Amino acid sequence: MNEPRLIRGNEACALAAIAAGCRFYGGYPITPSSEIAEHMARELPEVGGVFVQMEDEISSLGAVIGAAFAGAKAMTATSGPGFSLMQEHIGYAVMAEAPCVIVDVMRGGPSTGRPTSPSQGDVMQARWGTHGDHPAIVFAPASVAEIFELTVKAFVVAERTRMPVIVLYDEVLGHTAETVALPEEVTVADRRKPEVEPEAFLPMLPANDGVPPLPAFGDGYRFHVTGLVHDERGFPSDDPAVAGALLRRLHAKVENHRSEIVDVATSHLDDADVVIFAYGIVARAAEEAVAMARRQGGRVGLVRPRTLWPFPDAEIAEAVRGARLVVVCEMNLGQMLLEVERVVAGSVPIAAVLRGDGEPIDPDEILAALDRDMEGALP
């Protein structure tokens, strides 16, 4: 480990990307994510990478996908309105299977909303924002150290699955400075390259895990990439059988890598009557609330998904087993709440602490909800 030092969330994100091997950044300035771009503009050229400030967020992700096919590990970062513009190319990256990383530092919305206030309003957009049936991989760090860790992980998963991987945190975390000891080395991954000769190469023929090997443009494999439904040759096809199989494979490959992707942190669950469900910055308040409740003798625990999508169904079901109340806390009007309700399926009552005003949730609010919704939660 390096010496601990004070690092801001957005800086940790940029440092992690470079450590993970990111050598291409295409972005467009937007509050509260701009520090990532500024850091990359400064540092990437120093390590032989490329920084380009594009004309908008659509082209930013376009350039990132182009760079990905040219062999680079590539990323972009943005916030709400920019994330909306990127949806078109998130879909393209899923369909064309371009490994890349997208960071969304959430701010208050809808629309221009409150640029300088935090929010968790984009969690469903991160899942369903782009049109069509598609899988999604989304990580939600809850601290500066986790921003570093999960950004590295985002690159690893992107390379392994040939997916656009989204890192979602909020304005407060992006601008929070925390003392972090960065690791000296990180585990990185590189996309699988084809083992066959160019003549025998079928660009969209998947390996056993459902992920096709990916050579870079210029490696001697000449192939076609398209956002249209395509067959194993990568060529457009109108065959319903091809379309159906492709869509199922895109989902299956994420499923196949589930154990590497899904990541849920828990605390104090063993004897918990009350399980708080929280993610991102809200989980920090939830941890505090758990500690306060425990001091008062309340049996309260926390489940904290670090992977939002694919949703950790089994892990959440396991975490709430035996509880008498689940409290979902999020900085929106109830988005992941719907997922928790789906998984809990009526087996445990669910309370919700929701805020849509752009102000962080504080521990007292959570405790007040426990008290309100469960007799004797806080003895």
Partner 1 sequence: MTTTAQVREHLRGWAMPHVLCPGCAHGIVGRAFLSAVDDVGIDPDQMAVVAGIGCSSRLVGYLDFCTLHATHGRAPSFAAGIKLARPELTVAVFSGDGDGLAIGGNHLIHAARRNIDLTVVLFNNEIYGMTGGQAAPTTSVGAIASTAPRGSVESPFDACKLMIGAGATFVARAAASEPYTLARIFADALDHEGLSFVEVLSDCPTYFGRYNKLGSGPEMLAAITRSDNRIAIPLAGKRSIPTIDPPDLPPGVELGTLHREHRPVFTGRAGGAT
Is residue 28 a contact partner of residue 55, using CB atoms and an 8 Å limit? yes
Beta carbon nearer to partner 1, 188 or 264 = 188
| Peptide bond preceding 110 in cis form (omega within 30 of 0) | yes
User: Residue 335: CB partners within 8 Å, gap ≥ 6?
Assistant: 120, 121, 123, 124
Interface residue with partner 1 among 1, 2, 3, 48 (CB under 8 A) is: 48
Is residue 60 a contact partner of residue 90, using CB atoms and an 8 Å limit? no
**Rule CB under 8 A: is residue 31 a binding residue for partner 1?**
no
Beta carbon nearer to partner 1, 114 or 233 = 233
Beta carbon nearer to partner 1, 220 or 349 = 220
Interface residue with partner 1 among 4, 29, 110, 220 (CB under 8 A) is: 220
Among the listed ranges 48-56, 114-122, 304-312, 355-363, the one in contact with partner 1 (CB under 8 A) is 48-56
3-class state of residue 360 by DSSP: coil
Distance CA 171, CA 362 (A): 16
Considering only residues 83 through 122, tell me which ones interact with partner 1, judged by CB under 8 A.
Answer: 88-89, 92, 96
Beta carbon nearer to partner 1, 70 or 242 = 70
Residue 13 has which token pair? 């994100």
Among the listed ranges 52-60, 101-109, 110-118, 180-188, the one in contact with partner 1 (CB under 8 A) is 52-60
**Rule CB under 8 A: is residue 29 a binding residue for partner 1?**
no
Is residue 37 a contact partner of residue 10, using CB atoms and an 8 Å limit? no
Of 59, 63, 58, the closest CA to residue 25 belongs to 63
Question: How many alpha carbons fall within 13 Å on the CB side of residue 3?
Answer: 2
Interface residue with partner 1 among 31, 70, 115, 247 (CB under 8 A) is: 70
Among the listed ranges 66-74, 277-285, 295-303, 312-320, the one in contact with partner 1 (CB under 8 A) is 66-74
Is residue 330 a contact partner of residue 278, using CB atoms and an 8 Å limit? yes
User: Which helix (H) or strand (E) element contains residue 253?
Assistant: helix 240-256
The full DSSP string for 31-71 is TTTHHHHHHHHHHGGGGT-EEEE-SSHHHHHHHHHHHHHTT
Among the listed ranges 105-113, 213-221, 311-319, 333-341, the one in contact with partner 1 (CB under 8 A) is 213-221
**Rule CB under 8 A: is residue 173 a binding residue for partner 1?**
no
Considering only residues 226 through 285, tell me which ones interact with partner 1, judged by CB under 8 A.
Answer: 226-228, 233, 235-236
Beta carbon nearer to partner 1, 40 or 328 = 40
- Name the E strands within 232-290: 264-267, 274-277
Among the listed ranges 9-17, 55-63, 292-300, 304-312, the one in contact with partner 1 (CB under 8 A) is 55-63
**Rule CB under 8 A: is residue 189 a binding residue for partner 1?**
no
Q: Which residues bind partner 1 (CB under 8 A)?
A: 23-24, 26, 45-46, 48-52, 54-56, 58-60, 62-72, 74, 88-89, 92, 96, 216-228, 233, 235-236
